[in-house]
């Protein structure tokens, strides 16, 4: 089913849940090299839901807990390899989509959770889909936002000049950071600098990359979000990991891998939320997913861009979790 949400007529409460603090947290050693940070909040005896953050390299924030009813859900947040509080910071070694999928399973086992709901936006939607396709028996429901399938055309749109047609003012500092003779592939050119032996070169490239992506992340620019690009610790992980995954095309065996494997998860109750004016992850990707997976609810927010915290998107994400909550409470299928 397809439905549109805008400023009027949606009837949704646009408030997310109040701030809450974790009741437990820790680090899980997932390899000889990597340890990932995790935390739990909400109801310790509630229905488990795992939040899969974007980027890659974005990490989580306290606001990510606020999309879920804390009386019903056992809310699990974690930082993917190299991101946020996970160690080693911004590390690209042993860092592939398949490593992250294994980490999610290790975390589920560590927390003694038989199955859980999965929630992911942007790159988080990519990883949530890939995880669910690898472990469909462990997923009770899916909420996906700002669909990104990591196809070549999506990466080129974001990093090779496509989105510059809408944000030329934000694009030019990104473009101009790279000498003209290296602009044939910005991903390669930034990779060289993000992995330089000189830390200041890495930081400069990371700030430039991060600010470009953050500047196009909202329908109306968010000064608070863009300011995160000045934080070298955050920017280094965000830029290095995102560039690494784009350079390796998500480590998928084919460009259409996620679309080709929808049959594995077709039975899972799923809600897709997409901003109409999403410049980071244009709506065509969500539309392509909708066409191969018409059984999933498809919500287009008419007055929104990419970010999860835009009012219309946040309202639909809360509503999606409420819908899946009612399915679980009812013990049956969604309407």
**Cα–Cα distance, 219 to 309 (Å, whole number):** 11
Q: Is 260 a catalytic residue?
A: no
Buried b (16+ CB within 10 A) or exposed e, 313-327: bbbbbbbbbebbbeb
Alpha helix locations (H) across 27-147? 97-110, 123-134
Which H or E element spans position 260? helix 257-260
The one catalytic residue in 5, 10, 122, 134 is 122
Q: Is 5 a catalytic residue?
A: no
**Cα–Cα distance, 328 to 304 (Å, whole number):** 29
Backbone angles phi, psi at 330, to 5 degrees: -85, -15
**Cα–Cα distance, 129 to 151 (Å, whole number):** 14
Q: Is 306 a catalytic residue?
A: yes
Which among 63, 61, 17 has a CA at the least distance from the CA of 43? 17
The one catalytic residue in 5, 86, 134, 278 is 278
Which among 334, 276, 260 has a CA at the least distance from the CA of 310? 276
Catalytically annotated residues: 122, 278, 306
């Amino acid at each position: 089913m397809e439905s549109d949400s805008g400023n009027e007529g949606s009837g949704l409460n646009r408030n997310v849940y109040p701030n809450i603090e974790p009741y437990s947290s820790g680090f899980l050693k997932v390899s000889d090299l990597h340890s990932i940070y995790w935390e739990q909040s909400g109801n310790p005896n509630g229905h488990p839901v795992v939040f899969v953050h974007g980027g890659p390299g974005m990490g989580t924030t306290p606001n990510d807990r606020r999309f879920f009813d804390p009386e019903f859900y056992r809310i699990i947040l974690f930082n993917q390899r190299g991101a946020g509080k996970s160690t080693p910071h911004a590390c690209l070694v042993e860092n592939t989509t398949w490593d992250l999928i294994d980490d999610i399973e290790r975390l589920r086992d560590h927390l003694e959770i038989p199955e859980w709901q999965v929630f992911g936006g942007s790159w988080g939607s990519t990883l949530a889909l890939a995880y669910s396709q690898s472990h469909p028996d462990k997923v009770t429901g899916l909420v996906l936002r700002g669909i990104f399938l990591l196809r070549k055309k999506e990466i080129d749109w974001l990093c090779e000049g496509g989105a510059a047609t809408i944000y030329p003012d934000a694009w030019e500092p990104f473009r101009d950071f790279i000498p003209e003779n290296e602009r044939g592939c910005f991903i390669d050119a930034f990779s060289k600098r993000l992995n330089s032996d000189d830390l200041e070169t890495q930081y400069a490239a990371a700030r430039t990359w991060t600010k470009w992506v953050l500047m196009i992340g909202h329908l109306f620019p968010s000064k608070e979000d863009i300011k995160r690009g000045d934080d070298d610790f955050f920017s280094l992980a965000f830029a290095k990991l995102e560039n690494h995954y784009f350079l390796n095309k998500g480590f998928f065996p084919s460009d259409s891998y996620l679309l080709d494997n929808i049959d594995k998860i077709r039975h899972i109750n799923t809600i897709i939320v997409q901003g109409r004016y999403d410049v980071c992850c244009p709506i065509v990707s969500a539309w392509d997913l909708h066409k191969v997976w018409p059984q999933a609810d498809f919500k287009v927010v008419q007055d929104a861009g990419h970010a999860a915290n835009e009012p219309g998107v946040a309202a639909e994400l809360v509503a999606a979790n409420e819908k899946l909550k009612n399915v679980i409470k009812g013990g049956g299928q969604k309407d």
